[in-house]
Chains A and B, each alone.
Chain A
Amino acid sequence: MTATGDNVLVARSITKRFGGLVALREIAFTIPRGSIVSLIGPNGAGKTTFFNVVAGLTPPTAGSVELGGMRLIAPAARAWLEPLIWFVPPLLVIFIGTLTSGGNIQLVAVWGLLALLLATLILPTAMARPPWYEAGVHRLGILRNARPNDIVRAGIGRTFQNIRLFKNMSTLENVLVGMHLKLKSNPFDVLLSTPRQRAEEAEARTKAREYLALVGLQGRDRTLARNLPYGDQRRLELARALACEPILLLLDEPTAGMNPRETAEMTALIGRLRSELGVTVLLIEHDMRVVMGISDRITVLDHGEWIAEGTPEEIRRNPRVIEAYLGAAPP
């Protein structure tokens, strides 16, 4: 499969080992913009591992993932160097302070406080990872795996195989959390309750209601997430993932545990997301009717190996896929 110009995501020979177990072996994968691509395979095929690699939860053993031409995920290199940036300057200050204060413990204490101040400036900055810090770290040759929130910032939203909502928050709050990166107010805006912050908050609530309406949860904004029926919880998770305005949406078994009617509704909804919001979708799914119904391309994994890729029609006829799913025909 060749990487053409307009790909949202390009994964290059992703390998992931857990000890001796090879969960993914050199998986190459591209997702064209605006398409719905499915990843299927029997249990233990490595689908969720691949998802977790792309979502920044598990660093790959080898290989890289590019999103919109930006290299997002790669195995870490020289990551041990980073703590040096944090701790060397304050320690240096303490060291110099101790040498120059000639045994005067009160002067040492003042230097110590200075070092503390320096550390409290460096550490939060390093943890927020602003772009200039990232650039500097790259210049030092340090490569780190992106964190899940960096992945979201880059434009990937996801749902989970086992629903992970904020159960004791209302549906509206769940979606608002999803909009976290789209809201710009900082703690000082909040503390001072600036007009900008209030306007943003009101706007966010309106928009969050729109997302809820999109997935069919209108009028439920005060319901606690834990009190929603199962199918609605899946919808809410989808709304939360959409709220970060992703370019690429990762859906991990969005119809698992749903009855046929709910499944049909969810399938229609996913189709609508592409047509209305222009979202690209990567789907893991066991329900073949869903997969065959909405996918543009399907990739099949088995035991961590890539075994086939193609349109639903091609996949349906592929002998290796049939073998993986049904077992080899007796000789």
Chain B
Amino acid sequence: MSEPQPDRGQTAANPRATDARGIGWAERAFVFLHRHRSLSIIGSMALVTAALPFIVLVPPLSGFNAQTVWIDSFSGAGVYILLALGLNVVVGLAGLLDLGYAAFFAIGAYSYAILASSFYGLHVPFWPMLILGAVVAALFGIALGAPTLRLRGDYLAIVTLGFGEIVPVVFTNSDDLTNGTNGISGVDRPSLPGLAFTANPLPFYVTMAIMLTVVFILLYRLHDSRLGRAWMAIREDELAAASSGINTITTKLLAFALGATTAGLAGVFAAARLVFVSPDQFLFTVSFTVLAMVVLGGMGNIWGVAVGAFVIFITQTVLLKQLTNFLRPLDIPFISQIDFLQYQFLLFGIALVAMMLLRPEGLFPSTRRQRELHTTQAETEELWSPDEAQEPLA
């Protein structure tokens, strides 16, 4: 997987690219993978999925956690990767700042918990619920997006922030429907004929890997399509996009709905993995963490965002604890006393500030974003020309 060139589809149309005579097998393979992106995604995801459980057997990683604990935290990381990928469509591609993204995550998780637990005595199987949870989240995405997407920038951010706060509060306070603060426990685990999803985290891990592969393929397809271009056009200049024939409202709505769909998927999976949902799993910190993952990973770049989410999640949940354990016996004054896990948001904040100062385009920027953020003074002034504020948008 590599950053898609702005003009990837050209390879198919360009006769020179199909002429593979006279080049080595490595180049041939490269050309093949370039042209068959879905295959190369499947291949690389399979490689990574197979390699990760063995990589953690290598010291020092093997000393941090047992292999099963590692695998479990990888499927937890998968949830956040899904969330980051979905938010990347909304924020990175369409340029709509969404601060309440956890709401859709919560809606996905609660739809599974309500329809597949002993709380209501309903036991819809996991696999259809994966689709249904995503659809319910998408419906809420449309319902929230439709009235609010006329707003732009900061105003939209405030509305989504409000929505993100409302949803956990509703789940907290509607005792009859969702068991309030206590949450819903005893959520069904998935099941497949001949395969038990029990305490063994491996089936969850593989399920997540497959889900991610599918989402990757679909997102890359969207990215290089009429729709992906429409999103980017809206992000670049909404007025010019409208004047090119793009229905800005439905296009933005679609971005919102797709983002919500991905979050719904992640929610259903997370509920089934933890066997428990409660409102405090979906607070603002989740929205904020996912947004930070998107920004740190490199907004707009699909695989960059995924890697960013993975790195941040593993750092937060595994490495900080190990850092504490590592420094404690060294007996360095002051530093050895710090429990880094307790300071994770402080460290996270510092990392964000440092990143924004040193590398604002993120760890793995999309090429266009990199250029956008490293402009000369003259170009910056051009970007902020006052004319933009004057032209009305109908």
Interface residues of A (CB under 8 A from B): 52, 55-59, 86, 105-106, 109, 116-117, 119-120, 123-124, 127-129, 145, 147-149, 152-153, 158, 160, 162, 164-170, 172-173, 176-178, 180-181, 183, 185, 187, 190-191, 193, 197-198, 201-202, 204-206, 221-222, 224, 226-227, 240-241, 243-244
Nearest-neighbour CB distance to chain A for B359, whole angstroms, equals 18
Contact partner of B5 among A109, A222, A241, CB < 8 A? A222
Contact partner of A201 among B9, B140, B372, B385, CB < 8 A? B9
Nearest-neighbour CB distance to chain B for A274, whole angstroms, equals 21
Contact partner of A123 among B143, B233, B242, CB < 8 A? B143
Give me the 9 closest cross-chain CB pairs, A-B, nearest first: A152-B245, A123-B146, A166-B236, A181-B245, A170-B6, A148-B242, A164-B240, A168-B368, A190-B225
Known A57-B392, A145-B394; judge A180-B225 contact (CB<8 A).
Answer: no
Please tell me if B237 contacts chain A, counting CB pairs below 8 Å.
Answer: yes
Please tell me if B139 contacts chain A, counting CB pairs below 8 Å.
Answer: yes
B246 close to A177 (CB less than 8 A): yes
- When chains A and B are docked, how far (Å) is the Cα of A149 from the Cα of B252? 14
Please tell me if B200 contacts chain A, counting CB pairs below 8 Å.
Answer: no
Q: Which residue of B lies closest to A190 (CB)?
A: B225
- When chains A and B are docked, how far (Å) is the Cα of A105 from the Cα of B232? 43
Q: In chain B, residues 122-175, which have Cβ atoms closer than 8 Å to a Cβ of chain A?
A: 139-140, 142-143, 146-147, 174
> Which residues on B sit within 8 Å (CB–CB) of A149?
242-243, 245-248
- When chains A and B are docked, how far (Å) is the Cα of A233 from the Cα of B331? 63
> Which residues on B sit within 8 Å (CB–CB) of A106?
176-177
Please tell me if B42 contacts chain A, counting CB pairs below 8 Å.
Answer: no
Nearest-neighbour CB distance to chain A for B348, whole angstroms, equals 28
Contact partner of B244 among A117, A120, A145, A152, CB < 8 A? A152
SS class, residues of chain A in contact with chain B: helix
SS class, residues of chain B in contact with chain A: helix
- When chains A and B are docked, how far (Å) is the Cα of A78 from the Cα of B225? 38
Q: Which residue of B lies closest to A182 (CB)?
A: B245
> Which residues on B sit within 8 Å (CB–CB) of A148?
239, 242-243, 394
B233 close to A127 (CB less than 8 A): no
B-side interface residues, number (CB < 8 Å): 55
Interface residues of B (CB under 8 A from A): 5-7, 9-10, 12-13, 38, 139-140, 142-143, 146-147, 174, 176-177, 218, 221-222, 225-227, 229-230, 232-233, 236-237, 239-250, 253-254, 368-369, 371-372, 375, 379, 385, 387, 391-394
Nearest-neighbour CB distance to chain A for B368, whole angstroms, equals 4
> Which residues on A sit within 8 Å (CB–CB) of B140?
116
B253 close to A127 (CB less than 8 A): yes
> Which residues on A sit within 8 Å (CB–CB) of B226?
176, 180, 183, 185, 190, 201, 204
A selection of 6 A-B contacts at a CB cut-off of 8 Å is A105-B176, A120-B146, A123-B146, A124-B253, A169-B233, A222-B5
> Which residues on A sit within 8 Å (CB–CB) of B221?
190-191, 193
Interface centre among B174, B176, B250 (most CB of A within 10 A): B250
- When chains A and B are docked, how far (Å) is the Cα of A167 from the Cα of B171? 43
- When chains A and B are docked, how far (Å) is the Cα of A117 from the Cα of B140? 9
Nearest-neighbour CB distance to chain A for B98, whole angstroms, equals 18
A198 close to B12 (CB less than 8 A): yes
Contact partner of A180 among B142, B236, B244, B253, CB < 8 A? B244
- When chains A and B are docked, how far (Å) is the Cα of A145 from the Cα of B242? 14
